[in-house]
């Protein structure tokens, strides 16, 4: 499976012709809405979308991902993780469309937000449209604050509050970074997010 | 291979026309001719002898209805011909207090539905809506003694005008949507319920709705006020005879749940396959109060229904349990809205849908957390089962969160019948039909067990019967 780090500047419509991992990562907001539209027209193609964001105070991301399965046997697993700091705004719409002929499609979508500041805004719109029965499809979306128990544990071990929070945020994001198969891409993502390689 | 055949036969509404699709000769005192204009609205109001403010409300709503276009999203509603519908029928002149006074033909309808028996055995009060007006009503002594009011909305308006002025149309204003406006303009019948402070209503209050006249739109309007600390279950079930032309059902339900009260509103909707069922239901939930919607949608051609809870009081809770069953030519577009407006509010939505024989079921939901709603919690689960390759399912949730302390979870899965489960059950000696029926029953069980007993039994029996029928 090849890995592509996508440029978030302009909307992308991609017909997925071979097994591919698409990576989106940023530690800044987007100036404009960004849409990634994947179309599956070649049977048997597998793909993964990883969206990893650490959104600084008062910045905004408006993101749409869409996977359109039109032929049998394709798969797309979408994982989105975002950390929201003070007054940041994350608006995500994740679409999965499985057409009549797209038997044996597997499509999953996970959208998780970790809230690290106050006065945030978060919209989540995971959409499934499924026209046939021999498929596996699901989506999950969660939004939650940094777990007080985890924070307490780390602080009791001697970490300062800031450091403890940082550790939890890293742990939250690293999970997806580990899924990146290409080492060069992984390094650029760590750089972009200001995280250290373990 | 019988795979195709047995799947075709899973239709829990298969014998609908024999079971419920009868059509009694119509008997009306007043039937206003088809079509909708200002004159119709005025005549309805006049026939009901309503206060002036209600007529004014109706006319304003009608104005809004004319202006507003059909929704640009969701199922296709373009086939509804608003000029080809009767907006008002009045079968008998007054609500009857005793069973003996009810006209014979109407009585027969109820006999077929089993209302009197059910009443004797289980129900605290029966409000049966036959066409537009309540034809039969009774309240047991027990309820009256406790000060519980359970009337048709028309009677309620006559007897408690001050309550109506305070609450009517306040939660669902006519400007809410096109069909709420239509209902506001031509509403007729429905239930008015007032539960006094602290009253604990042990047995469910039940209303039974029916449409019996061809091309008859039914626009019932229900207003419920559950006062502080009260506890009530309200049950509404629908069956309608089969007709070839499309009928329209556009109801509005408003529920006010006061501080510390708990109210459960259960609906089983089993309209015939030519009915458009477009319903607006809202509940306002105050401090530490609980509102629960239990909603089963089996019938109709197209249903659009998204009951909502406005959680305005600290610590209030909203729940929605929903089953949708979409078979041939059916589109069930249902869901729920949970609007968190106060601290420590919580909500839960569980939605299960089954699509078969080319039917389509859609979940459409909305969860909002305002910046006032500190520590809000919400959990949404949507499971869809698609039984054959011609059927479809959608999930359209929206979560709008404006407060960082919220904990919001949403989960949806879509699947077909698990072949392994099917194999296991058939290897144990069940026929494929029985196995399918068992799996489907298991799938909806978490909601069925929340239904009042007679409904749960009826629903389970329907599913079993229809699935067994295909063994040959």
Nearest residue of A to residue B409 by CA position? A142
pLDDT, mean of residues B264-278: 86
- Residue A164 CA to residue B451 CA, distance in Å, equals 48
From the list A117, A130, A140, the residue facing B411 with the nearest CB is: A140
- Residue A161 CA to residue A144 CA, distance in Å, equals 18
Summarize pLDDT for A89-110 with one digit per residue, the tens.
999 999 999 999 999 999 999 9
In a domain, B40, yes or no: yes
Reduced to 3 states, what is the DSSP secondary structure of residue B277? strand
Question: Which residues make beta-bridge pairs with A115?
Answer: A84, A145
Summarize pLDDT for B340-391 with one digit per residue, the tens.
999 999 999 999 999 988 999 999 999 999 999 999 999 999 999 998 899 9
Say if A101 is an interface residue toward chain B (CB within 8 Å).
no
Summarize pLDDT for A153-192 with one digit per residue, the tens.
999 999 999 999 999 999 999 999 999 999 999 999 999 9
Sort out which chain B residues have CB atoms less than 8 A from A121's CB and list them. Answer: 401-402
Q: In chain A, what percentage of residues exceed pLDDT 70?
A: 99
CB contact under 8 A, B389 and A118: no
From the list B386, B392, B414, the residue facing A138 with the nearest CB is: B414
pLDDT, mean of residues B284-288: 97
Would you state the structure tokens that stand for residue B311, as one six-digit string?
A: 């959680």
- Residue B119 reports pLDDT greater than 70: no
Burial of B244 (0-12, 13-18, 19+ CB in 10 A): exposed
pLDDT, mean of residues B213-234: 84
Would you list the DSSP string of B434-447?
Answer: HHHHHHHHHHHHHH
A198 falls in which pLDDT band (50, 70, 90)? low
Q: What is the ipTM of this complex?
A: 0.91
DSSP class of residue B96 equals B
Q: Mutating which of B376, B399, B422 best tests the A interface, going by the most A Cβ atoms within 10 A?
A: B399
From the list A129, A136, A141, the residue facing B410 with the nearest CB is: A141
Summarize pLDDT for B42-55 with one digit per residue, the tens.
999 998 889 999 99
Summarize pLDDT for B186-217 with one digit per residue, the tens.
998 888 999 999 999 887 887 765 455 555 55
Distances in Å between the alpha carbon of B289 and those of B245, B281, B338? 42, 18, 14
Summarize pLDDT for B151-193 with one digit per residue, the tens.
888 889 999 999 999 999 999 999 999 999 999 999 988 889 9
Summarize pLDDT for B293-337 with one digit per residue, the tens.
999 888 889 999 999 999 999 999 999 999 998 988 999 999 999
From the list B394, B404, B413, the residue facing A119 with the nearest CB is: B404
Domain count, chain B: 1
Say if A104 is an interface residue toward chain B (CB within 8 Å).
no
Burial of B355 (0-12, 13-18, 19+ CB in 10 A): buried
- Residue B180 CA to residue B169 CA, distance in Å, equals 10
Closest listed residue to residue B227, CA positions, set B197, B253, B202: B197
Chain pair A-B, CB pairs under 8 angstroms: 110
Burial of A171 (0-12, 13-18, 19+ CB in 10 A): exposed
pLDDT at B28: 64
- Residue A85 reports pLDDT greater than 60: yes
B126 falls in which pLDDT band (50, 70, 90)? very low
In a domain, B58, yes or no: yes
pLDDT at B125: 44
pLDDT, mean of residues B261-280: 88
B326: distance to nearest CA of chain A, Å? 13
pLDDT at B6: 43
pLDDT at B445: 86
B462 falls in which pLDDT band (50, 70, 90)? low
Say if B222 is an interface residue toward chain A (CB within 8 Å).
no
pLDDT at B438: 85
Say if B418 is an interface residue toward chain A (CB within 8 Å).
no
Q: Is B358 left (phi over 0), alpha (psi -120 to 50) or beta?
A: left
- Residue B184 CA to residue B175 CA, distance in Å, equals 9
Domain ranges of chain A: 2-193
- Residue B5 reports pLDDT greater than 80: no
- Residue B1 reports pLDDT greater than 60: no
In a domain, B7, yes or no: no
**Domain with B226 in it:** 29-305+417-432
Question: Which residues make beta-bridge pairs with B395?
Answer: A128, B363
Reduced to 3 states, what is the DSSP secondary structure of residue A133? coil
Residues contacting residue B97 through CB under 8 Å, at least 6 positions apart: B137, B138
Least confident stretch, A60-64, B157-161, B416-420, B467-471: B467-471
pLDDT at B150: 86
- Residue B126 CA to residue B220 CA, distance in Å, equals 16
The three-point CA angle B93-B103-B98 to 5° equals 80
Q: In chain B, what percentage of residues exceed pLDDT 70?
A: 75
């Amino acid at each position: 499976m090849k890995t592509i780090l996508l440029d978030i500047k302009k909307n992308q419509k991609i017909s997925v012709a071979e097994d591919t991992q698409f990576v989106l990562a940023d530690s800044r907001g987007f100036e404009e809405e960004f849409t990634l539209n994947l179309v599956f027209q070649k049977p048997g193609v597998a793909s993964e979308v990883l969206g990893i964001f650490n959104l600084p105070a008062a910045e905004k991301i408006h993101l749409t991902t869409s996977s359109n399965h039109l032929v049998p046997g394709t798969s797309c697993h979408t994982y989105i993780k975002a950390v929201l700091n003070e007054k940041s705004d994350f608006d995500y719409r994740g679409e999965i469309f499985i057409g009549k002929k797209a038997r044996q499609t597997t499509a999953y979508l996970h959208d998780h937000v970790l809230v690290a500041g106050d006065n945030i805004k978060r919209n989540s719109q995971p959409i499934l449209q499924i026209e046939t029965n021999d498929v596996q499809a699901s989506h999950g979306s969660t939004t939650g604050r940094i777990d007080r128990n985890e924070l307490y544990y780390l602080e009791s071990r001697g970490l300062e509050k800031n450091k403890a929070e940082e550790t939890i945020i890293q742990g939250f994001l690293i999970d997806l970074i580990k899924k990146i198969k290409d080492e060069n891409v992984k390094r650029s993502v760590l750089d972009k997010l200001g995280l250290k390689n373990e | 291979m019988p795979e195709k055949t047995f799947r075709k036969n899973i239709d829990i509404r298969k014998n609908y026309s024999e079971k419920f699709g009868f059509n009694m000769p119509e008997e009306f005192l007043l039937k206003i001719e088809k079509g909708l204009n200002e004159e119709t609205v005025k005549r309805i109001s006049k026939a009901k002898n309503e206060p002036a403010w209600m007529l004014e409300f109706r006319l304003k709503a009608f104005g809004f209805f004319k202006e507003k276009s059909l929704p640009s999203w969701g199922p296709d509603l373009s086939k509804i011909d608003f000029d080809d519908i009767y907006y008002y029928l009045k079968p008998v002149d007054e609500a009857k207090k005793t069973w003996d006074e009810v006209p014979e033909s109407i009585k027969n309808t109820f006999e077929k539905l089993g209302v009197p028996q059910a009443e004797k055995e289980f129900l605290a009060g029966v409000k049966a809506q036959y066409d537009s007006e309540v034809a039969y009503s009774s309240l047991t002594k027990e309820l009256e003694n406790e000060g519980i009011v359970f009337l048709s909305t028309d009677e309620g308006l006559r007897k408690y005008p001050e309550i109506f002025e305070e609450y009517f149309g306040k939660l669902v204003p006519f400007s809410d949507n096109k069909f709420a406006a239509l209902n506001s303009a031509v509403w007729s019948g429905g239930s008015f319920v007032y539960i006094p402070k602290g009253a604990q209503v042990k047995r469910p209050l039940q209303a039974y709705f029916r449409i019996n006249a061809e091309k008859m739109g039914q626009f019932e309007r229900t207003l419920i006020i559950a006062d502080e600390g009260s506890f009530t279950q309200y049950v509404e079930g629908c069956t309608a005879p089969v007709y070839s032309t499309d009928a329209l059902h556009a109801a509005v339900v408003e529920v006010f749940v006061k501080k510390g009260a708990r109210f459960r509103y259960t609906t089983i909707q089993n309209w015939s396959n030519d009915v458009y069922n477009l319903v607006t239901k809202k509940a306002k939930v105050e401090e530490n109060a609980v509102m629960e919607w239990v909603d089963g949608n089996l019938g109709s051609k197209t249903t659009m229904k998204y009951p909502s809870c406005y959680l305005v009081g600290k610590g209030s809770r909203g729940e929605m349990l929903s089953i949708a069953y979409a078979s041939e030519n059916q589109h069930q577009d249902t869901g729920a809205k949970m609007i968190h407006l106060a601290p420590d509010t919580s909500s839960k939505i569980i939605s299960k849908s089954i699509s078969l024989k080319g039917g389509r079921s859609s979940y459409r939901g909305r969860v909002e957390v305002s910046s006032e709603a500190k520590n809000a919690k919400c959990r949404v689960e949507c499971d869809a089962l698609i039984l054959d390759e011609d059927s479809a399912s959608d999930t359209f949730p929206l979560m709008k969160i404006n407060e960082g302390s919220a904990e919001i979870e949403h989960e949806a899965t879509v699947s077909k019948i698990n072949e392994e489960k099917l194999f296991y059950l058939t290897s144990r000696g069940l026929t494929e039909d029985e196995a399918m029926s068992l799996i489907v029953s298991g799938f909806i069980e978490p909601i069925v067990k929340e239904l009042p007993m007679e409904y749960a039994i009826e629903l389970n029996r329907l599913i079993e019967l229809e699935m067994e029928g295909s063994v040959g």
